[in-house]
Amino acid sequence: IRENFSCGEFEVRALDLLNDLFEKHDTVIAVGGSGLYVRALCEGMDDLPHTDEKLRWELNNRFEHEGLAPLLEELQRLDPEYYEVVDRNNPARVLRAVEVCLQTRRPYSSLRTGMPRKRDFKIIKIGIDMPREELYDRINRRVDSMMAAGLEEEARAVYPYRRFNSLQTVGYKELFDFFDGKISRDEAVGLIKRNTRRYAKRQLTWFRRDGEIRWFANDAFDAMVKYVLDNTI
């Protein structure tokens, strides 16, 4: 959790792994819901500067003590174009953009080409959907099962490292506020459920913009398999 791991680093490691897997398999299935990492794998990431550890620490320290609002104000000043499109509820995105602006003395948006890189393998994208009520019910039940399985104990174990990017995520942040006495345990659990539902909604919005994705109902397994087979021949 102390190590920074960017989408660019994920792209490099994932492609190395795929090269090894394609020596043994004709088809490889990648599963996940983090849109930026899916984009990194399928399209590549812009060549941004490596993390300046001292600057990263300073920005994380500011975030921990001052919150996200001052950093958003700084991003708006440094790069108003990216400020308009960034997820302002995502500290990692905001911190990285401010970091790049300060490190390069250029707007973060000016370094983002958005040009996809050609891959030497065919990509078939499948989206799995379900009725919103069922999705939200499953999210709520999953949070309850995570709490029963020891999420609170896990969060207490990593609490001393809360300033690291890896812990700026749903599930940890709410429990950290509970540990700080800002909210009750029940409120923390309720917020984890709410924020996870909101995250799921944002994921769907992100992926529905991708015209290459073929959508299936979550119980249409045979149709998914047929679609993959028809498109890999």
pLDDT at 147: 98
Q: In which band, very low, low, confident or very high, does the pLDDT at 28 lie, cut at 50, 70 and 90?
A: very high
pLDDT in tens, 33-48: 788 889 889 988 777 7
pLDDT in tens, 171-228: 999 999 999 999 999 999 999 999 999 999 988 988 998 999 999 999 999 999 999 9
Res. 233: pLDDT tops 80? no
Computed over every residue of the chain, the mean pLDDT equals 90
φ and ψ at residue 213, rounded to 5 degrees? -85, 130
Rounded alpha-carbon distances, angstroms, from residue 32 to 37, 55, 77, 125, 207: 9, 31, 34, 11, 12
Look up residue 187 and give its amino acid. E
pLDDT at 225: 92
Count how many Cα atoms sit within 13 Å of the Cα of residue 98 in the half-sphere of its side chain. 25
Distance in angstroms (rounded) separating the CA atoms of residues 121 and 148: 42
Helix (H, G, I), strand (E, B) or coil at 126: strand
φ and ψ at residue 169, rounded to 5 degrees? -130, 160
Counting every residue written for the chain, the total comes to 233
This prediction has a pTM of 0.71
pLDDT in tens, 78-137: 999 989 888 887 888 899 899 989 998 889 888 776 667 889 899 999 999 999 999 999
Instruction: Report residue 69 as tokens.
Output: 């609002």
Packing angle of the helix pair 151-158, 132-148 (nearest 10 deg): 70
pLDDT at 17: 96
pLDDT in tens, 134-169: 999 999 999 999 999 999 999 999 999 988 878 989
pLDDT at 93: 84
Q: In which band, very low, low, confident or very high, does the pLDDT at 50 lie, cut at 50, 70 and 90?
A: confident
Rounded alpha-carbon distances, angstroms, from residue 73 to 26, 61, 110, 207: 49, 16, 19, 28
